[in-house]
């Protein structure tokens, strides 16, 4: 249970971070526990995390601000082990180095800065830039589906505790803490044809074959083709025929003359034979 000093301090900090959130950061305390905070970091431009949606928790001690919070990031990022306590100078790994003047916004800004660096610590992992970009593309799906896992009841989630938030909850905890963001994620998945069970792209729906209407069939055209197009096509065919006739007119004239000579000769030979 939080002390009155911790409650007062965190209430004040929530008001401050809501009014003026740091760039790429939003955060709020859980409705039932002011010591449990949820944050979302948006991947900044010019980083492998650009556009990614990284959800995590800050679990504050009852005597905050005289001791630092435990920091976890639940969304796979290629930078941190999901749901693992991170060893940072601003986390509970180093209580003696924590400055009580530091606020929630200071802690999350420090986390984002560390995330976009390559410094290693307990809870961090190595990955290529391309791998981190792929993780970023799947963050929305992962947050709202729990990685495609089966949904769990809220009661079970509460019994598990904060350290196992992601274990098969089907996105229920994220949905509980970020209902509006979750709704946007589901719309995004539907628009992008993302399969909630797998996170993979669904195949495009096959278009059903359309049948010609009597009017269209009478024109001899494809459905959706205007009569003007059919007329233009016929005109092109006529012009093509006329063009062929024009190109071969001398051959036709020469052939006609030769045919005339042959017929004349035949008629002449017939007349001579008759007179003889």
As annotated, the active-site residues are 87
SS3 270: helix
Eight-class DSSP state of 138: T
Q: What would you measure as the largest C-alpha separation in the chain, in angstroms?
A: 144
Task: Tell how strand 25-29 and strand 53-59 pair up.
Answer: unpaired
Eight-class DSSP state of 225: -
Residue 244 CA to residue 111 CA, distance in Å, equals 77
Which helix H or strand E contains 115, and what residues bound it? helix 104-115
Say how many C-beta atoms besides its own lie within 10 A of residue 210's C-beta: 10
- On whether the CB atoms of residues 22 and 109 are closer than 8 A, the answer is yes
With 0-12 / 13-18 / 19 or more C-beta atoms within 10 angstroms meaning exposed / middle / buried, residue 3 is middle
């Amino acid at each position: 249970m939080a002390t009155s000093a911790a409650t007062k301090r965190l209430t004040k900090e929530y008001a401050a971070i809501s009014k003026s959130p740091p760039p790429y950061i939003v955060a709020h305390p859980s409705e039932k526990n002011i010591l449990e905070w949820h944050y979302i970091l948006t991947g900044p431009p010019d980083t492998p995390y650009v556009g990614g949606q990284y959800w995590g928790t800050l679990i504050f001690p009852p005597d905050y601000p005289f001791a630092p919070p435990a920091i976890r990031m639940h969304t796979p990022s290629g930078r941190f082990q999901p749901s693992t306590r991170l060893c940072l100078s601003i986390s509970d790994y180093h209580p003696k180095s924590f400055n009580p003047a530091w606020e929630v916004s200071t802690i999350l800004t420090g986390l984002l800065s560390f995330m976009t660096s390559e410094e290693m610590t307990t809870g961090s992992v190595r990955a290529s830039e391309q791998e981190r970009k792929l993780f970023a593309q799947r963050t929305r799906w992962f947050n709202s589906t729990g990685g495609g896992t089966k949904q769990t009841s809220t009661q079970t989630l509460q019994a598990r505790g904060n350290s196992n938030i992601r274990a098969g909850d089907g996105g229920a905890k994220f949905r509980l803490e970020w209902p509006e963001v979750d709704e946007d994620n589901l719309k995004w998945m539907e628009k992008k044809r993302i399969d909630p069970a797998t996170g993979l792209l669904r195949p495009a729906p096959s278009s059903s074959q359309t049948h010609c209407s009597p009017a269209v069939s009478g024109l001899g055209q494809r459905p959706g083709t205007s009569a003007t197009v059919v007329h233009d096509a016929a005109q092109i065919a006529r012009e093509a025929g006329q063009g062929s006739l024009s190109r071969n007119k001398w051959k036709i004239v020469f052939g006609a003359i030769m045919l005339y000579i042959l017929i004349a000769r035949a008629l002449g030979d017939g007349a001579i034979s008759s007179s003889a």
